[in-house]
Structure 1
């Protein structure tokens, strides 16, 4: 994608504003849903493993289509994809709010995920295209701040709506925001002057990638319910492995691949991308489990749990722009590595939570999580985007976002499985037992093991960040 003339300062601000609005909408939706999952599970009388698909269905489609929309953005221009994504996301939100069954809700979340994939795939790439390199880190920091505002507002708004109105309204709230965003995007985003990258679209590669991911996530989430040695679980893992091999084989031999694997030959790009995936895996798993812990173990009301889950975002608001600007000046490697180590410490402290833990200690620990994430993600994104090839910014951006979202999706499935596995093996509970029927001390034990696993994964993210050298393009 080429823009022949640099945008004016005003045009740059307009583009950044609409991108910030999309980031706010996506981040608001993720956290506003998580805080309501225990209530949704109770409403439909379903176990934790089943309600997790309200989050995972969205993330599965999001992760599976990011490469698709990144490639389409490079081929046909960013504006059309971006505006269409907003429209589909808004329609999906309306359908979610109208859902009267768990199956309808999960299906509507698939629709939401399609729209979100279009938004997230090319958002960072539009920064790389329209904004000069000298302020790219600062712009990414601003986006991190906006995302943190959405993350902070999500649990608070979601908790209040769920507590005093209905969980359906956590989705209806997206509709007016989405309508405004579509109108603003049509007016504010510049027309694609030279869309651009020619070639055929790799539809077979897109299909194989989606089902490779789906057949990996399903057995991770359902292994306890069906049995890890059941034919369905083993078969799904085998199918997933075969599909991943086919995907790599296809992409390395296709004339116009969906994913350019040459990028992964760059050690810095690969290490930074894996670090982002690892950090999102750890954080998403913790975020998924904490509402169940706060409401099931601590006995907090939904809005109180929402306030606690908003704590990390306040640190993100402050530190996102600062960290992004620092990465422009001193590089990203030291910042990202140190932040990942700090995150590991914070996740370990969360593993010490019990039903007697004071609320001030809980809030302080969650603040440390926010500090770690606020310092980590802007320089990490700067590391990754700096390695993208010219005219493939959409692809580089979508690969980066895909890695993070795959990490997030796997994190929800994996951490939930770890927590339930501890419960099942220690006390021989049925994995399909509703959370409300599991004794409190057993839940605490399972959550602690999962949170320690998150700390270990954050250490891996630190090692990967240390490997990735600074080499901005």
Structure 2
């Protein structure tokens, strides 16, 4: 029997296991394939440019369906959306491991992305049901810790799997974990009794949502790929095509948002964005994840190219950032509720900005200690921002709109990460990545994004 305010301890732990398994699989599969792309390209007789669709297919499917499935969770129940998403993810993983051509693998990755969207769209909403209100901050901190760890663990896990097996095992390993999650989740996950009255699931709005996010993603990705490969590269997306995709996505977006204005429970949650603290939290999240991506993708070029470090040394130094998040998360969970989330987020993003500036000002021949303490400052600052920010996003929405808030949480993270990756590609098209100038500029820009995000966070103190 479900308690009115969260689950009893034993049931809560079982539900948490299901949630953690889902997060790990969904987040890992967004990055774990990167290292295997050369092997996949050779095995399936594809070009390097074509192999990028193994990544894009997953990301577009996930981003396009996060909000529709979040709203569907508000209508039919988060537990049902989560379990169906897990089943689809398992089927997609089997299909990926058995793919014999690149088109087959890309389609299977779309199926995986649909399943991942089902998991990620209602994840935070389920956490809100699992934990009592007084412990919700701790639950969100655990969630944030797992997301942060899984985001950076992909390449290391992929390297371990590829050292003993071929690339299909990257997908096959998901199947037993997904089946375990399904078996546990049928009994462990709670049911949300508060449903969104007046909500409707319009297929046309789902298509418009997918087209908006898909076309904008392809347009921005195409512009970024041009910058990364150079304008003269034969694999670069034609400028006219990238711009056409971007403009088409924006036009579709205008039509889509206008349709949503008249909906009592819009699929694109305009009702939530009208809440000032929610809107500020979205801006905070996009800016912070953009800063993190700019730094975390640019730093390897600095460590390897400018400082001549080995891959092993650079990898170990970079882990200081996520390890700091893991260590800090439990403490941050206890601070939530005691201090304003806007204040905690503002301090955290201020620390992140200072840490990024310190990394940009590294001496010509830094010691490992010089780098580690700066990474630790960045990690501590990001941890201090992430959980309080997620807590505000979830709790500022009415209970029957927890799904919409949960979907926006994931959408903001993916939007910030995509923006950061594209900006870095553009920077590297003008400033050499291996000469130090490109990565250093990226760090300064990341510090600026973190500072602006910190300002958005501080503004929430007045609006909360």
TM-score, normalization by structure 1: 0.83
Q: Deviations over 1:25-50 (max 9, x none)?
A: 33433453456568778988966x87
Structure-2 change in CA distance of 1:339 and 1:180 (3 Å): same
User: Counterpart in 2 of 1:456?
Assistant: 448
- Which of 378, 383, 392 is equivalent to 1:374? 383
The answer to whether 1:88 aligns with 2:88 is: yes
Compute the displacement of 1:351 (Å). Answer: 4.2
Q: How many residues align?
A: 453
Structure-2 change in CA distance of 1:178 and 1:279 (3 Å): same
Q: Does the 8 Å contact 2:35/2:159 carry over to 1? A: yes
User: Counterpart in 2 of 1:407?
Assistant: 416
Q: Deviations over 1:173-222 (max 9, x none)?
A: 32322221121112311355565645421322222222222222223222
Q: Map of 1:50-449 to 2, 5 A cutoff?
A: 54-99=54-99, 104-151=104-151, 153-162=153-162, 165-191=165-191, 197-223=197-223, 224=226, 230-290=239-299, 306-351=315-360, 358-423=367-432, 440-441=434-435, 444-449=436-441
SS of equivalent to 1:468: helix
Q: 1 CA distance for matches of 2:340 and 2:314?
A: 37
Structure-2 change in CA distance of 1:220 and 1:348 (3 Å): farther
Compute the displacement of 1:53 (Å). Answer: 5.1
Q: 1 CA distance for matches of 2:319 and 2:47?
A: 26
Compute the displacement of 1:11 (Å). Answer: 2.3
Q: Deviations over 1:302-327 (max 9, x none)?
A: 66655444332211111112112202
User: Counterpart in 2 of 1:434?
Assistant: none
Q: 1 CA distance for matches of 2:168 and 2:105?
A: 10
User: Counterpart in 1 of 2:26?
Assistant: 26
Structure-2 change in CA distance of 1:163 and 1:330 (3 Å): same
Compute the displacement of 1:360 (Å). Answer: 4.3
- Kindly indicate whether structure 1 or structure 2 has the higher relative contact order, using CA contacts under 8 Å at least 6 residues apart: 1
Compute the displacement of 1:166 (Å). Answer: 4.4
SS of equivalent to 2:266: coil
Q: 2 CA distance for matches of 1:140 and 1:453?
A: 29
The answer to whether 1:466 aligns with 2:458 is: yes
List gaps (5 residues or longer) in structure 2: none
Q: Does the 8 Å contact 2:5/2:133 carry over to 1? A: no
Q: Deviations over 1:249-290 (max 9, x none)?
A: 011023552123122122111011111111112223433445
Compute the displacement of 1:68 (Å). Answer: 0.7
SS of equivalent to 1:144: helix
Q: Does the 8 Å contact 1:69/1:117 carry over to 2? A: yes
- For the aligned residue pairs, the C-alpha RMSD in angstroms reads 3.4
Structure-2 change in CA distance of 1:372 and 1:250 (3 Å): same
Structure-2 change in CA distance of 1:212 and 1:298 (3 Å): farther
List gaps (5 residues or longer) in structure 1: 424-438
Structure-2 change in CA distance of 1:91 and 1:408 (3 Å): farther
